[in-house]
Each structure stands twice: as C-alpha cells, then as structure tokens.
Structure 1
Amino acid sequence: MTPGGEARSARRSVPSVTARDHRATLLTADGVPIEARYEPPPPSAAADGDGLALVVAHGFTGALERPALRRVARAFAQRTAVITFSFRGHGRSGGRSTVGDREVLDLAEAVRWARRLGHRRVATVGFSMGGSVVLRQAALQEADIENQPSEGTVSEEHGGRMGARADAVISVSAPARWYYRGTAPMRRVHWAITRPAGRLVSRYGLGTRIDGRGWDPEPLPPVAAVPLIAPTPLLLVHGDRDPYFPLDHPRMLAGAADPSSTELWIEPGFGHAETAAPDALLERVADWALARA
C-alpha cells in the first residue's frame, strides 16, 4: 500500500476514542506521509469519552521513537490521551525537514487525527522547534477561522480548517525570533542546517534529512505569531538554564502575547526541551492543559 493509501485507510478505519494504542501513517496537505502514534487515556479518564488529547511536537532531530519523546508521552499518558508523531524529514516520516516552516502542516494533520479519533478537546504541546511550530500553527488557524464565512460549515475534506484548531497551546523552550546564533549550541545547529557537510552529519549521524533550499518566503516568526493566538489559552514554558535560547526569548514572546489568555512559566534549573524536562514539569503541563482546553 502506498503511504497515501495507508493514510486514507487510517482515516476510514480508526474508531472513535479508541481504547488501544494505535499507529497510523497520516498524509499532510502537501502530500508528505507522517508516522504517528495514539496512546489512549488512562482508565481514570476513559469515562470522559470526548476528553482531551495532547498532540506533542518534538524538537529538531527528535522523532517518534526517540527516548526523550517516549518519556514525555509516558508522563502525559498518565493523565490523558496522547498523540506523538515524527515531523517530516525525521524518523520514518517522509520528506525533508524545513526546520519549522512546513512542519505546521504535519502538526495540523496530527490535530485532525485527534479529532477523527473522537476527541473534542485537543491541546498542542511543542518543544524547541516544535514549540515554534505550535505557535505558528495556532496563529495560522486563528487567522483561517476568522476569515471563514459565518454561515454554514466547511468540511475538512474540502479545505476546512476547524478540525486542525487547538483548544490550548503549550510552547516549551521555543525561540522568539529566527536566525539566533547567540549561543554555541545554536551556532552548531545553524552549521548543521546551512552547510552541505552539516546536512550530511544531520542525515547520517542524527537521522534528520534537511531541505537544503532554505525558506522562500520566510515564515512568520514566533514573536509575530503569538499575538494572533488569542483567545486560545497559551502557556509559554522556559528554563533558566536553557543553553540554546536565553530568557529574553520567552520574555519577548510573553510581551507580544495577549496577557488575558497567556501564562509564562520560567522554570528554575530546567535546561532545554523534551530531553531536559523533568517529569514533575510534564505533569504540571498536562494538568494545565486539562484545566484550560
């Protein structure tokens, strides 16, 4: 079966709010197959059939089966249903990474899958690159919804966007602006992305296939996206020991966001993204989503 055929089969056959772990190949709006996994809610939450699903967007060089993402999924699955997936160019997904640009399409399809599974409440949780993606995807969805006709509905199969809208957004360790090179780790990331030798190392050493053509046009930066997310609840989480992005990044994001719907958590001792996030923080993030979405 072709990747697209697998995705269409998954869309037809997945039961509503399934009680079992389920894997699928999703097909994005631009035709990229994305590997995804659904983990059902714990028995304590199973009675709430239309309950929350957390859709988790990993960081650059992460993937569905990477230990850090599996640990995040286990922590979240103690409280609610979880969908994890590999961005394009990562893991067993197709395509090449555009480092946060067209990845909004990958996230949108994962959110739609959560809706097709029967979840009426969906929150997106992104780490680092994934943190910038959840911000941009939420902003783009709000803009699309605002421009929809007020009468009637538009189906997902015919271009509707309502199914990809998140009810709450959580961005962890995200940059506020593009092209930041102010730390040694980010200079290494830029080398991996922009240089042919770096892309070879990323492909064969890190399992990440990068599109070498760059951005054209440049995507909306996270700091410009956050004002567009309201009234959707937004949580920004950042560690005071983050070696990639210093604290001016989350503060810039929070300063640009709507204060009536945004919270900022600066976490003492926390480093960067899913690799460093302690279980206690992940549990608090899940509880925030359960309360806000």
Structure 2
Amino acid sequence: MSDAIEHPLSRPQDRRFWLTTSDGVGIDAVLRRGAEPCDTAVVLANGFTGTHRNPATRAIAEALLPVGDVMTFDFRGHHRSGGHSTLGNAEIHDLEAVVARLRSLGYTTVATVGFSMGAAVALRHAAILGGVDAVVSVSAPSRWYYRGTRRMRLLHVGIERTAGRFFLERFRQVRVTDRRWDPRPAEPREVAGHISPTPLLVVHGDADTYFPVAHATAIHEAAGEPRDLWIVPGMGHAERAVTPELSARLRDWLRARLGPSGD
C-alpha cells in the first residue's frame, strides 16, 4: 500500500508522504514537484517548532524548485509527526528517512537545507550518516546548552520545565521529551570536519537574536573544503528571516554545486 496521501494545502503536483524512521517514528512529509521531471531533490529541515505548513517554508520551497523537487517535513514531536522532539539528537533519523525515501523514488542527487535546529540536524546527519550531495546550514547553533541570549534563556525554560513543555504542546503543537541527553550527542562544531568532501554552505544573520555570528564562524572553521560562509547583514533567525533575495542566492549556490534540475 502506498504511503502517499492527499494534503489539504497541496498543489496538484504535490504528494504527501507518511514516513517511518529507523527507530519507528512516523514523519509527515510533503514533496513539492516542479513542472518538469528531474532527478535532483532538496530537503528543507525546519527549526524547532517549525512546520512544513509555515508560509516562510513554503516560500523557500517554491524558490528552490528551479534546483529540483523539494521535500518538506515535520520533525518528530512536531504537529502531525509522531514521537517527541529530542531537540536535535534523534532527529537525524527523521532526516535520514526523508533522504532514503527520495533515493527510493529515483532521485540521484539530494541536498539538505536546514534552519536553526534543523541546520544542526543537517550538519550532524551529513557528518554521521552521509549520503547527501550538498548541505546548507542556516542559523545553526555550533554547540549545545547555549544561554548567551535572552531568547535562548527563554527557550531553555520552555523545554526544561513541565509548564513550558505543556505550553509548547498546547499552543505550538510541539511535544518535547522530558528526558535529558545521555550520552550527549556530538555538537555541530565537533562533527563539521567530517562533512567534507560534500560541499557545505554556512549562512548566518548578523542580527540573529538566538545565536550570534560566532556560532557560524565556529562551524565554518571546523569544516573542511569545499565550504562557504555567508554572514548576511540585517538578517534575523532561521527560515522566517529568509528573504526572497536570500532564497535566490541559495538557489544559485545549489545549482552551481548540483546543476540545474539535475543537469
């Protein structure tokens, strides 16, 4: 039986999938297809509390369709996906389930583009599991437990306290695990060097209110070649801060590394 099902917000050429990770978690995903068949796909990995339904995510997906078809999905614990969020640890299995499904559908070239938590997951996935042809990290943390900004201190209250987790589930449709990491997963800066020779682009805004630019430079410095670093003036945090102009730059970078529509 096919796991492709109708999505209420989809275009006629979109397909919705229910995927299952290697550790048994169901993942809600949508494949947005371009006008012409191609063998290249781009995966968008949202930040914490994000969803493939977000207008910002859908706009980025639309902008990247000239590169190839685009798969968006919800991480575990988010909206209709199963399980509980582990804040970037087990989520590499979610991303691997998406990449594996795209490979099974016949896509020979797959790139991952992650935002915030999703960027940390994309970096760790490429370094630990591999199997992708390019990686873009937008607004990623370089290390765990960062509390150097007011927003990150508030976020830690939300994920570490019972009342905060209740709020996230009730009002943001995000279920967060109450278990602490044991053992601590490798940090993005610790594994970035293992991504090479896969091309890596690190993007960060100098107006990010969650993670300062030092996080981006730490990841870039730890990575091997080929690598690029973009510090974007005036840019805030993650997918909601991505302008049409930045989407076009991301499109051009991916096309340069992958070839337009798999060519």
Structure 1: any 5+ residue segments left out of the alignment? 1-7, 12-18, 143-164
Residue number among 93, 98, 104 corresponding to 1:116 in the alignment = 104
Residue number among 233, 246, 249 corresponding to 2:212 in the alignment = 246
- Check whether the contact 1:42–1:81 (CA below 8 A) recurs between aligned residues: no
SS of residue matched to 1:174: coil
Say whether residues 1:27 and 2:20 are aligned partners: yes
Say whether residues 1:282 and 2:261 are aligned partners: no
Displacement of 1:195: 0.8
Residue number among 45, 49, 53 corresponding to 1:61 in the alignment = 49
Say whether residues 1:213 and 2:206 are aligned partners: no
The more displaced of 132-141 and 19-28 is: 19-28
Q: How many residues align?
A: 251
Q: What CA RMSD, in Å, does the superposition of the two structures yield over aligned residues?
A: 1.4
SS of residue matched to 1:63: coil
What is the percent sequence identity of the aligned residues?
48
The letter for the 2-side match of 1:284 is R
Runs of 4+ in 1 over 4 A off after TM superposition: none
Q: What CA distance in whole angstroms lies between the structure 2 residues aligned with 1:202 and 1:134?
A: 23
Q: What CA distance in whole angstroms lies between the structure 1 residues aligned with 2:204 and 2:63?
A: 18
SS of residue matched to 1:56: strand
Q: What CA distance in whole angstroms lies between the structure 2 residues aligned with 1:74 and 1:213?
A: 37
SS of residue matched to 2:93: helix
Task: Specify the alignment match of 1:161 in structure 2.
Answer: none
Q: Residues 195-252 of structure 1, C-alpha deviation per residue, up to 9 Å, x if partnerless?
A: 1111011111111100011211111100011001001000000011111100111011
Say whether residues 1:93 and 2:81 are aligned partners: yes
Say whether residues 1:36 and 2:29 are aligned partners: yes
SS of residue matched to 1:9: coil
Task: Specify the alignment match of 1:270 in structure 2.
Answer: 235
Task: Specify the alignment match of 1:139 in structure 2.
Answer: 127
Q: What CA distance in whole angstroms lies between the structure 2 residues aligned with 1:219 and 1:32?
A: 19
Say whether residues 1:222 and 2:210 are aligned partners: no
SS of residue matched to 1:187: helix
Q: What CA distance in whole angstroms lies between the structure 1 residues aligned with 2:102 and 2:134?
A: 14
Residue number among 107, 120, 126 corresponding to 2:114 in the alignment = 126
Say whether residues 1:194 and 2:160 are aligned partners: yes
Residue number among 146, 163, 182 corresponding to 2:148 in the alignment = 182
